[in-house]
Structure 1
């Protein structure tokens, strides 16, 4: 991992087309701007973790959900 110190108004360039700019530093909060082509996905890490957990939960239905679905399928006229 590359670790850098930057001040407000300074930037870091990643590759040829991604620029990360420090917009503002206020106490322990840093505002960061990211300029990248639309083809480059930029996401907050905590949202990706939340999405992964939601997907894991949805892919592993509880026994109650399986039993309920089985019951509904038994009652459904063919």
Structure 2
């Protein structure tokens, strides 16, 4: 089952039309790690990584965690 964080990251990535490899490079992680996050296979995404994703996409961490439907 895909986590809300993984769903949101995938959705944001697809809105930019970036590949997993492109986003992984921007975040400084391996693309297999990103793949596992997006698919829900990786449990517990690091808070620092969540912050990097939020900054990159200019969204709130609450949006990434599914606490709000408003990205900003």
What band does the TM-score fall into relative to the shorter chain? Answer: under 0.3
Higher strand share: 1
**TM-score of the superposed pair, with normalisation by structure 1:** 0.21
Question: Relative contact order: is structure 1 or structure 2 higher (C-alpha 8 Å, sep ≥ 6)?
Answer: 2
Bigger radius of gyration among the two = 1
**TM-score of the superposed pair, with normalisation by structure 2:** 0.22
